[in-house]
Structure 1
């Protein structure tokens, strides 16, 4: 039985980065990946990279077919690059297999026929198996030939004229905006009363209106009851009536991939099926770690990267980094225009007892909007009136996905809002909006 210093299960961001880092420090590493299509992880192959490539393609006037070709080229190149980044490293062995725990240190390598081909041993084992789409229990869902998850919808060979999206979360809205950009008639079915319920009310209202102006129909309080294929279309039956589609996207959440025979080692799961971990990302078995989406929490590749930093520091460094000291996590919803956020909204800050000041700037008051030919959007920021520390920001508008990182950096460093207000920025840029946004 071959023994490694570290066995990594899953080729995602945290796992692959830890594997490479450990190998360069002289550690022997095994990387186990169930599917060659997933070299590099979810983000590169079926997540943010392909979806954002398609979004960018829609903005540069490529048609649907051209966009799909461009997406495939990008994904294939990155998949190949990620494979060789590890496989060509002398201290790393890459195994194409499904992993199953036998003991706390032993992992069986299972082939496509569900046969154990080999067993390897790891002094440390890192679980990085990600998450997969939740498939709801809806009549007809298992037999319909026009149903796709977020992976399958990006493999379509032709553009649907009518797309119905079941679910109204961030992934649903990103795909709604994307397909509407290509001219598809899009209907979003949300079972709750509203979408974007976690966002600032003013900004959520603008974003919803912009989606509607783009042609996206958002139907709330719509419980999907059945899906029925006809000869040339599919009918989606809901509590709000029937909707006709050429394709249906299921965007009803994601669940951790934990089919690893965890019972054999006593690893515990949480209420949502996630692997329970401590602040150092150790499971109930101290030498087994869980990183990325499989451990629950925000499902972003940069969170996975920070998980790598925590585990790497714990194994190879001083052990000072934890999930408790990494601070606020920014995010962007890549609708059109993008909606980005970090920290607290005004309502949340006041609920926590802060005395606040709030800055508010419509994008149509930023000079750069004339060059962008895009006046849509609203920037808002919340600060502590007593300490001048920035508590949060929600930026809805062009280039917000870049700007939010500047505000996050200021928050992380304890920079007061007046520093951003009084800085000199190049012109004409969206960043110079901070001169006015922080004038509070």
Structure 2
């Protein structure tokens, strides 16, 4: 079968590789660099910087163990070079993965059903998969052009003395944590009363307080009214305020990148995203699919990869998607929040286990945080889990596996967890519920 895939991000290139292995004829079209936003301007470069930020915090932490190091100094040029080298290395890996795929560089647009045009050439296929990703959103406020996007933050050639970040979601919180550790005085301005609205308020509050103790300033419940060069004005209730900063960044979510000609192809769009059947990723047009950010279901790289596997014919549990925040400390969640359970009328039990009682956390001096486990009392299964603390991004996967396979919470308590490890906090929480 002949496939055309538009977009070489995590969903697009992984699908291309799978289909090629299945002996399909695959053409992959990309207007920018292989790897999409995740590799070039998102997940990977920010994690390089997050690791650098962790290293910058090492001298102060090492002193607690009798290892006296001089205060860290940041050579930002070296960090940027390292970041670029990591991206290049991973991109080379993608190129090898796609050795059997026809790759075209250019912008594709639909000119007819199952027909696209790229670089003046018309291409047809049995199936076309749209995987065009998303771009940074912006607030419609006066002076919005004075703020840079997350892409702009990754293009800085110096660590700013002062940084104002509009938006306390995942992207904003990660950059706040990174630049604060690298030496910036950071202020986060969030519209809602608490940061990370997708988390329960108690977990979000715990992370915010931890980051505040590390020097990040938070202004919550604030609506930005104007952005000037070096100044953000906002209104919080009946009060007006402002934040001055040498760099102002906007991290207020993302919007799907819609290719031209969707109407010609018969592809339906609602609320700025392509409409798909979540079980198949099919659009309203026969033979056309959409995966990743462009369908608006779940704007995460690993969700795009999972949707790619669905198009390739694999069985994937798509309603259990872990979400992680690479701050210091890390945060992660999967399933429903406690508030969502209450709103749905579910009867649940909740257990909270702080890391200060975990042997491994105490030995490494990272006791700030907790595991929050939510059980559905009617079924004895896990409804959701949220973690803030050391290695939360890795710990959450144990819960995701349990949930994806619809196992009871006793599956955790029956399993021996090694000691001393951070995962014992999950076992302890499960024991409280079972």
- Provide the C-alpha distance between the structure 1 equivalents of 2:277 and 2:410, rounded to a whole number of angstroms: 37
Q: After superposition, where does 1:215-230 map in structure 2 within 5 Å?
A: 215-229=215-229
- What does residue 287 of structure 1 align with? 287
Residues 138 and 386 (structure 1 numbering): CA distance in 2 closer, same or farther, change over 3 Å? Answer: closer
RMSD: 1.8
- What does residue 42 of structure 1 align with? 37
- What does residue 13 of structure 1 align with? 10
- Provide the C-alpha distance between the structure 1 equivalents of 2:139 and 2:339, rounded to a whole number of angstroms: 33
Residue 221 of structure 1 deviates from its aligned partner by: 3.0
- What does residue 397 of structure 2 align with? 405
Per-residue CA shift, 1:183-239, capped at 9, x if unaligned? 21111112233323332232222111112111111112322233223xxxx122223
Residues 370 and 285 (structure 1 numbering): CA distance in 2 closer, same or farther, change over 3 Å? Answer: same
Contact 1:378–1:395 (Cα < 8 Å) also in 2: yes
Contact 1:291–1:307 (Cα < 8 Å) also in 2: yes
Residue 435 of structure 1 deviates from its aligned partner by: 3.4
Residue 405 of structure 1 deviates from its aligned partner by: 0.4
Match of 1:135 among 133, 138, 143: 138
Residue 382 of structure 1 deviates from its aligned partner by: 1.2
- What does residue 129 of structure 2 align with? 126
- What does residue 80 of structure 1 align with? 92
- Provide the C-alpha distance between the structure 1 equivalents of 2:204 and 2:15, rounded to a whole number of angstroms: 38
- What does residue 173 of structure 2 align with? 173
- What does residue 79 of structure 2 align with? 67
- What does residue 277 of structure 2 align with? 278
Contact 1:40–1:83 (Cα < 8 Å) also in 2: no
Residue 375 of structure 1 deviates from its aligned partner by: 1.3
- Match of 1:102, SS? strand
- Match of 2:138, SS? coil
- What does residue 411 of structure 2 align with? 419
Contact 2:108–2:117 (Cα < 8 Å) also in 1: yes
Runs of 4+ in 1 over 6 A off after TM superposition: none
- Provide the C-alpha distance between the structure 2 equivalents of 1:332 and 1:169, rounded to a whole number of angstroms: 11
Match of 1:365 among 357, 376, 389: 357
Match of 2:232 among 236, 242, 265: 236
Count of residue pairs brought into register by the alignment: 410
Q: TM-score, normalised by structure 2?
A: 0.90
Per-residue CA shift, 1:156-194, capped at 9, x if unaligned? 111001001112222111111111111211111122333
- What does residue 263 of structure 2 align with? 263
- Provide the C-alpha distance between the structure 2 equivalents of 1:203 and 1:17, rounded to a whole number of angstroms: 34
- What does residue 249 of structure 1 align with? 249
Residues 397 and 131 (structure 1 numbering): CA distance in 2 closer, same or farther, change over 3 Å? Answer: same
Residue 64 of structure 1 deviates from its aligned partner by: 5.4
Unaligned regions of 5+ residues in structure 1, if any?
111-115
Residue 16 of structure 1 deviates from its aligned partner by: 1.1
Residues 121 and 94 (structure 1 numbering): CA distance in 2 closer, same or farther, change over 3 Å? Answer: same
Q: TM-score, normalised by structure 1?
A: 0.88
Contact 2:28–2:102 (Cα < 8 Å) also in 1: yes
Residue 439 of structure 1 deviates from its aligned partner by: 2.3
Residue 386 of structure 1 deviates from its aligned partner by: 4.2
- Provide the C-alpha distance between the structure 2 equivalents of 1:197 and 1:82, rounded to a whole number of angstroms: 34
- Provide the C-alpha distance between the structure 2 equivalents of 1:235 and 1:327, rounded to a whole number of angstroms: 41
Contact 1:421–1:434 (Cα < 8 Å) also in 2: no
Q: After superposition, where does 1:158-169 map in structure 2 within 5 Å?
A: 158-169=158-169
Q: Does 1:96 align with 2:105?
A: yes
Residues 124 and 360 (structure 1 numbering): CA distance in 2 closer, same or farther, change over 3 Å? Answer: same
Residues 69 and 343 (structure 1 numbering): CA distance in 2 closer, same or farther, change over 3 Å? Answer: same
- What does residue 157 of structure 1 align with? 157
Match of 1:349 among 341, 356, 367: 341
- Match of 1:284, SS? coil
